[in-house]
Amino acid sequence: MSWSSSSSPAVASDSHYFYDACNTSTKCYLSAPLHIFQIYLGQDTCRALGPMEQYLSVDQEVSVLNKKSWNSIIESVDSLITTLPVMIGFVLSRMLCGHLPRLSTRRFLLEYMLVAIPTVILFTVGSDFFHMYSIVSFLALVWYLRPRRELELRNTKYEVGKRPLVFTLLRAICNCGTSVAILMVDFPVTPVRFRKSRTFGASAMDMGIGIFVVTMGLVSHRARNLTDLKKLPKAVVPLLLLGLGRTTVISMINYNHDVHEYGIHMNAFFILGLTKLFGSLCSLLANSDLQLLGLAMGILSMHELVLQLGLCDYVMSDTVPRLGFLSSNREGLSSLPGCVALYLFSIYFGKWYTSQDHLTYTQLCSKLKRVLLIAVVLWVMVILSAFLSGIARVTFNFGYVIWILFISVVIILNCAFFFELAFVQTRPTFGDCHKETANSLPTFVESLNMNGLSYFLLSNFFTGMVNIFFDPNNRSNSESVLILLAYVLICSMMVFIMHKKRIRIA
Contact assessment for residue 262 and residue 270, using Cβ atoms and an 8 Å cutoff:
yes
Residue 51 has a pLDDT of: 44
Burial class (CB in 10 A: 0-12, 13-18, 19+), 350: buried
Query: Is residue 19's pLDDT more than 80?
Result: no
CA distances from 258 to 249, 262, 341 (A): 15, 8, 25
Give backbone dihedrals phi and psi of 488, rounded to 5 degrees, phi first.
-65, -40
Rg (Cα) of the chain, in Å, rounded? 23
Residue 198 has a pLDDT of: 84
Query: Is residue 59's pLDDT more than 90?
Result: no
| pLDDT bucket at 146, cuts 50 / 70 / 90 | confident
CA distances from 310 to 197, 285, 303, 316, 427 (A): 20, 28, 11, 10, 53
Mean pLDDT, rounded, for 353-358: 83
Where b means 16+ CB within 10 Å and e means fewer, 275-287 reads bbbbbbebbeebe
Give the SS3 label for residue 13.
coil
Residue 14 has a pLDDT of: 38
CA distances from 202 to 9, 158, 199, 322, 442 (A): 28, 37, 10, 26, 30
Going across the sheet that includes 15-17, the strands are 10-12, 15-17, 48-49
Give the SS3 label for residue 198.
coil
Across the chain, mean pLDDT equals 82
Over residues 375-431, the pLDDT tens digits come to 999 999 999 998 888 898 999 999 999 999 999 999 999 999 998 887 764 444 434
Query: Which residues, other chains included, contact 203 with Cβ-Cβ below 8 Å and sequence gap of 6+?
Result: 75, 79, 193, 194, 195, 196, 197
| pLDDT bucket at 435, cuts 50 / 70 / 90 | very low
Q: Give residue 94's identity as a one-letter amino acid code.
A: R
pTM of the model: 0.84
Where b means 16+ CB within 10 Å and e means fewer, 440-463 reads bbbbbbbbbbbbbebbbbbbbebb
Query: Which residues, other chains included, contact 356 with Cβ-Cβ below 8 Å and sequence gap of 6+?
Result: 160, 363, 367
Contact assessment for residue 498 and residue 450, using Cβ atoms and an 8 Å cutoff:
yes
CA distances from 81 to 118, 123, 132, 181 (A): 14, 12, 10, 15
Query: Is residue 257's pLDDT more than 80?
Result: no
Query: Is residue 118's pLDDT more than 70?
Result: yes
Residue 57 has a pLDDT of: 54
Torsion over CA: 486, 408, 30, 256 (sign): negative
Query: Is residue 70's pLDDT more than 90?
Result: no
The whole-angstrom separation of Cα 382 and Cα 219 is 25
Beta strands in 353-392, from DSSP E residues, in sequence order: 358-360
| pLDDT bucket at 40, cuts 50 / 70 / 90 | very low
Beta strands in 316-448, from DSSP E residues, in sequence order: 358-360
The whole-angstrom separation of Cα 301 and Cα 290 is 18
Nearest to 372 by CA among 410, 323, 418, 344: 410
Mean pLDDT, rounded, for 468-477: 90
| pLDDT bucket at 39, cuts 50 / 70 / 90 | very low
CA atoms within 13 A on the CB side of 113: 7
- In order, the DSSP letters of 426-483 are GS--GGGTTSSSGGGS-HHHHHHHHTHHHHHHHHHHHHHHHHHHS-GGG--HHHHHHH
Q: Max CA-CA distance within the chain? A: 77
Mean pLDDT, rounded, for 130-138: 94
Give the residue with greater pLDDT, 72 vs 278: 278
Give backbone dihedrals phi and psi of 402, rounded to 5 degrees, phi first.
-65, -40
Where b means 16+ CB within 10 Å and e means fewer, 195-207 reads bbbbbbbbbbbbb
